Structure 1
Amino acid sequence: MKITITPQAAKWFKTELSVDANMGVRFYGKVYGKTQVHEGFSVGMSVDTPENPIAKTTVEGILFFADEADEWFFKGYDLTVDLDEKLNEPKYLFTED
């Protein structure tokens, strides 16, 4: 799994979230909603401390990651996080890895 954060999304996260040192933005699977590849689940995010990351990247000084507990949700896919400019919120795109 690979995580890609677009420059527009990175700017949004930097403006909207306060991320302390040794913490990052965690992406995970949550019940309800849907993604382009999951029915009944959507992408959640939280400011959290990485435990056992399966993927991580640092953009604009912010660590973005997914932990081992959510491998089931991301297995077989790469995640790109972009900005939905109409809604002014992140949008999540999955591609097969």
Structure 2
Amino acid sequence: MQLKVAEEAAQWYKDELELSDNDSLRFFVRYGGVGGLKPGFSLGVRPDTPQEPIAETTVDGVHFYIEQDDAWYFDNHSVKVTYDSKMQEPDFEYEEEQE
């Protein structure tokens, strides 16, 4: 599994959540929301400390990651976080991984 975060999306998170260099931001599965891989669930974000990351990347000084506990949700998909300039917010794209 891969996690990619576009620089524009990383900057949006830094600004909105007042993150500094060397901070960590976790993408986690939450009940509710729209646009996710599984009906009734979506991704949330929160500053946190990595424990058992299954995917991670550092962009613009911020460490983004997904924990092992949430692996079930992704079901062999990689995640790309881009920035939607029209909506002025991050957008999640999921791509099935080839085995």
Compute the TM-score of the two structures, normalised by the length of structure 2: 0.86
| Unpaired runs of at least 5, structure 1 | none
The verdict on how the C-alpha distance between 1:60 and 1:23 changes in structure 2, with shifts beyond 3 A counting, is: closer
Identity over aligned pairs, percent: 36
> Where does 1:1-97 land on structure 2 (aligned, <5 Å)?
1-19=1-19, 23-35=23-35, 37-97=37-97
Once residues 95 and 60 of structure 1 are traced to their aligned partners in structure 2, the CA distance between those partners, rounded to angstroms, is: 23
| Unpaired runs of at least 5, structure 2 | none
Structure with greater strand share of residues = 1
Structure 1, 47-56 or 36-45: larger mean CA deviation: 36-45
User: Please, what is the CA RMSD of the aligned residues?
Assistant: 1.7
Compute the TM-score of the two structures, normalised by the length of structure 1: 0.88
- Alignment length, in residue pairs? 97
